[in-house]
């Protein structure tokens, strides 16, 4: 339920309203904008009678929210959320953030080389995998802790915050200590136990869309994290499974537009996993920016042919550099800036 008050409602009146709602056993957040005050109520609102609420002359409107997501709902938080990712801000209408790096960290030297390469191209976050969710148990599973520590060295050398995928709760202390942004991969988007656990973490969470999940299921997974107290969630569209087989997945750009209506959370796009072909990545990245994405995640490898994971979809640092030259102009065209 959303309750909005009239312009100029005195602070004491707002406090009284919060107090009354809380006394009914509901959770309430007050969001104050320049011209509005909106109360978002979470809990069993069936016991609230709209007529009683509207009897208060300061109250303008009461809306029952039919969507099952509340904290993530745009109605509860009309302004875009801007998430601080180790100093780099993601979200809002003004800036685009680009994170890039190899699918898997393979060595300290490789991590450093790629981090320097993507930084030179204009990335502001370094993304790499140390725990890899591979389809086959015989494929490279990642360097694990050693890979995280290699990324830490790359952060020390470049100043870029680091983003890496967490697959199990037992690694949470390691990620709290070393990682700036915790990625939850597509395969774990509905691992509700893991979502609840990262909801208690003190790091922003980059939540990727599940292989075959609806937008509502996607936002509900963000809601799981937010319900535990961690409101710093960034959504990532990475393609969904359809009947099309010529690409790894089908990039749902319309979903990016819809997500921005459904939720105030930032939405970034990963064109690399969406298509699986390096040659397609630049066009899709450009289209994502045009569709209003708040950022991009791009896989970059210094030697894609020898990559231990996802080489076919990885750009070289030079290709990344060329793409970023275009993205910068595009971002400017849309009146935004690179972050």
Residues of the shown chain interacting with ligand PEP in the complex, contacts defined by CB under 6 A: 103, 129, 133, 185-187, 208, 238, 273
Alpha-carbon 34 to chain mean position: 26
Instruction: Give the nearer residue to ligand PEP in terms of CB position, either 77 or 209.
Output: 209
Do β-strands 125-127 and 233-237 pair in parallel, antiparallel, or remain unpaired?
Answer: unpaired
Closest listed residue to residue 265, CA positions, set 218, 212, 203? 218
Instruction: Give the nearer residue to ligand PEP in terms of CB position, either 71 or 238.
Output: 238
Q: Which residue is nearest to Mn ion (CB)?
A: 103
- At which residue do the structure tokens 């909106």 appear? 38
251 binds, among Mn ion, ligand PEP, none (CB under 5 to 8 A by kind): none
Question: Does the CA dihedral 123-307-165-68 come out positive or negative?
Answer: positive
255 Cβ contact partners less than 8 Å away, ≥ 6 residues apart: 209, 215, 237, 240
Taking the complex as a whole, how short is the minimal distance between the CB of residue 217 and ligand PEP, in angstroms? 15
Instruction: Give the nearer residue to ligand PEP in terms of CB position, either 164 or 230.
Output: 164
170 Cβ contact partners less than 8 Å away, ≥ 6 residues apart: none
Q: What is the DSSP letter of 271?
A: H
Question: Residues 260-299 vs Mn ion: string with x where CB under 5 A?
Answer: ----------------------------------------
Taking the complex as a whole, how short is the minimal distance between the CB of residue 208 and ligand PEP, in angstroms? 4
Give 196: exposed, middle or buried? Use CB within 10 Å, 0-12, 13-18, 19+: middle
- Decide if 227 contacts 199 (C-beta within 8 A): yes
The rounded distance, in Å, linking the Cα atoms of 111 and 154 is 6
196 binds, among ligand PEP, Mn ion, none (CB under 5 to 8 A by kind): none
Residue 149: Cβ within 10 Å count: 17
208 binds, among ligand PEP, Mn ion, none (CB under 5 to 8 A by kind): ligand PEP
Instruction: Give the nearer residue to ligand PEP in terms of CB position, either 88 or 163.
Output: 163
Taking the complex as a whole, how short is the minimal distance between the CB of residue 254 and ligand PEP, in angstroms? 18
33 binds, among Mn ion, ligand PEP, none (CB under 5 to 8 A by kind): none
Taking the complex as a whole, how short is the minimal distance between the CB of residue 15 and ligand PEP, in angstroms? 44
Taking the complex as a whole, how short is the minimal distance between the CB of residue 236 and ligand PEP, in angstroms? 7
The rounded distance, in Å, linking the Cα atoms of 126 and 70 is 31
Taking the complex as a whole, how short is the minimal distance between the CB of residue 38 and Mn ion, in angstroms? 39
Q: Which of 38, 100, 103, 262 touches Mn ion by CB under 5 A?
A: 103
Q: Which residue is nearest to ligand PEP (CB)?
A: 185
Taking the complex as a whole, how short is the minimal distance between the CB of residue 57 and ligand PEP, in angstroms? 51
- Decide if 313 contacts 281 (C-beta within 8 A): yes
Instruction: Give the nearer residue to ligand PEP in terms of CB position, either 186 or 205.
Output: 186
The rounded distance, in Å, linking the Cα atoms of 90 and 124 is 11
185 binds, among Mn ion, ligand PEP, none (CB under 5 to 8 A by kind): ligand PEP
Question: Phi/psi at 40 (nearest 5 deg)?
Answer: -105, 120
Question: Residues 292-331 vs Mn ion: string with x where CB under 5 A?
Answer: ------------------x---------------------
Instruction: Give the nearer residue to ligand PEP in terms of CB position, either 91 or 129.
Output: 129
Alpha-carbon 57 to chain mean position: 39
DSSP 309-324: S-GGGPBPHHHHHHHH
Taking the complex as a whole, how short is the minimal distance between the CB of residue 316 and ligand PEP, in angstroms? 18
Site of interaction with Mn ion (CB under 5 A):
103, 310
């Amino acid at each position: 339920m959303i309750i909005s008050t009239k312009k100029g409602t005195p602070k004491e009146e707002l406090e009284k309203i919060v107090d009354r709602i809380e006394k009914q056993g509901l959770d309430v957040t007050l969001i104050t904008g320049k011209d509005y005050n909106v109360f978002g109520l979470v809990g069993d609102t069936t016991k609230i009678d709209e007529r009683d609420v509207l009897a208060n002359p300061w109250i303008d409107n009461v809306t029952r929210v039919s969507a099952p997501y509340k904290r993530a709902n745009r109605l509860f938080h009309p302004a875009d959320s801007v998430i601080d990712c180790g100093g780099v801000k993601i979200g809002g209408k003004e800036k685009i953030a680009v994170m890039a790096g190899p699918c898997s960290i393979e060595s300290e030297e490789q991590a450093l080389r790629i981090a320097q390469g993507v930084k030179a191209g204009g990335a502001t976050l370094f993304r790499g995998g140390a725990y890899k969710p591979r389809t086959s148990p015989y494929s490279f599973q990642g360097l694990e802790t050693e890979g995280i520590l290699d990324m830490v060295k790359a952060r020390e050398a470049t100043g870029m915050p680091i983003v890496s995928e967490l697959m199990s709760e037992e690694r949470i202390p390691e990620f709290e200590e070393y990682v700036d942004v915790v990625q939850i991969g597509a395969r774990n988007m509905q691992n509700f136990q893991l979502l609840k656990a990262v909801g208690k973490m003190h790091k922003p969470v980059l939540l990727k869309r599940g292989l075959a999940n609806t937008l509502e299921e996607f936002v509900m997974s963000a809601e799981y994290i937010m319900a535990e107290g961690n409101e710093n969630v960034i959504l990532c569209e990475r393609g969904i499974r359809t009947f099309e087989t010529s690409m790894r997945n089908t990039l749902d750009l319309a979903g990016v537009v819809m997500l921005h209506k459904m939720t105030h959370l930032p939405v970034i796009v990963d064109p690399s996993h969406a298509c699986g072909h390096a040659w397609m990545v630049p066009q899709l990245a450009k289209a994502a920016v045009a569709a209003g994405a708040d950022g991009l995640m791009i896989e970059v490898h210094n030697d894609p042919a020898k990559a231990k994971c996802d080489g076919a979809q990885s750009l070289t640092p030079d290709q990344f550099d060329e793409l970023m030259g275009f993205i910068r102009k595009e971002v400017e065209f849309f009146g935004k800036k690179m972050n």
